[in-house]
Chain A
Amino acid sequence: EAQVTQNPRYLITVTGKKLTVTCSQNMNHEYMSWYRQDPGLGLRQIYYSMNVEVTDKGDVPEGYKVSRKEKRNFPLILESPSPNQTSLYFCASSPTTGMAHEKNIQYFGAGTRLSVL
């Protein structure tokens, strides 16, 4: 089954304790992205990757890191989490890096709810 898998689904941590949220897709997609969802703000892009070893900042990258060492995996790293990073996080992937192709839709994981105390 084609899917985007995020782990963990729920995470409670304390300020300053490094954490990693994993994301894996089994569709051989080039493009992967992380979003955070906050009430009243919708989804905002944190980082994206157009292919292996190619990553770039989205709209709200402060406090986050990513890596893309393999095509299928795109982990999100919070090296020193703070309470303002309490949010619902989504990983997404799409087949290509250009928007013009009609098959270029984004598939989303089920989300990771993070609480930073």
Chain B
Amino acid sequence: AQSVTQPDIHITVSEGASLELRCNYSYGATPYLFWYVQSPGQGLQLLLKYFSGDTLVQGIKGFEAEFKRSQSSFNLRKPSVHWSDAAEYFCAVGVTGTASKLTFGTGTRLQVTL
């Protein structure tokens, strides 16, 4: 069965600093990978996704992620964090043949200091 690991439960960065959130997955074939963001009191919003092709994907709000098959990773990055980026971030993996099911990581809570 597929699984997702987000090793960092909580990360604090200063506004304007760069950000990298880690995500590792376990799956035997090429996965479909997603990053979602959950702002306080809100639902989940899709930041970006990887299905195939270019391994560096661009998303909304200035985020990007890179799929590295050799490392089974899909880390999320942003060059300069804004205070409004404070939220919880979830990495998820989807696999073929399982009717759109997503398996989520446990999430990383991002705190931004001014």
Q: For residue A97, which residues in chain B have a CB less than 8 angstroms away from its CB?
A: 99-100
Q: Are B100 and A98 in contact (CB under 8 A)?
A: yes
Instruction: Report Cα–Cα, A30/B75, bound state, in Å.
Output: 30
With A42-B107, A99-B32, A105-B34: A90-B43 Cβ-Cβ less than 8 Å? yes
Interface: A43 (CB within 8 A): yes
Complex partner residue of A42 from B51, B96, B105, CB under 8 angstroms: B105
Instruction: Report Cα–Cα, A45/B92, bound state, in Å.
Output: 12
Complex partner residue of A99 from B43, B44, B100, CB under 8 angstroms: B100
Question: How many B residues touch the partner, as a band?
Answer: 20 to 34
- Choose the segment among A68-76, A77-85, A106-114 that binds chain B (4+ C-beta atoms closer than 8 Å): A106-114
Instruction: Report Cα–Cα, A37/B90, bound state, in Å.
Output: 11
Interface residues of B in 86-114 (CB under 8 A from A): 90, 92, 94-102, 104-107
Instruction: Report Cα–Cα, A18/B13, bound state, in Å.
Output: 44
Interface residues of B in 13-57 (CB under 8 A from A): 32, 34, 36, 41-46, 49, 51
CB distance from B44 to the nearest CB of A (A): 4
Q: Are A98 and B46 in contact (CB under 8 A)?
A: no
Q: What are the interface flags for B56-99 relative to A under an 8 Å C-beta threshold, 1 for contact and 0 otherwise?
A: 00000000000000000000000000000000001010111111
Q: Which of B34, B42, B43, B46 has the most chain A CB atoms inside 10 A of its CB? A: B43
With A99-B32, A105-B46: A43-B90 Cβ-Cβ less than 8 Å? yes
The 6 closest A-B pairs by CB, nearest first: A108-B44, A42-B104, A108-B43, A42-B106, A43-B104, A110-B43
**9 pairs, A vs B, C-beta closer than 8 Å:** A35-B104, A42-B4, A45-B101, A48-B100, A99-B96, A100-B51, A100-B96, A109-B43, A111-B43
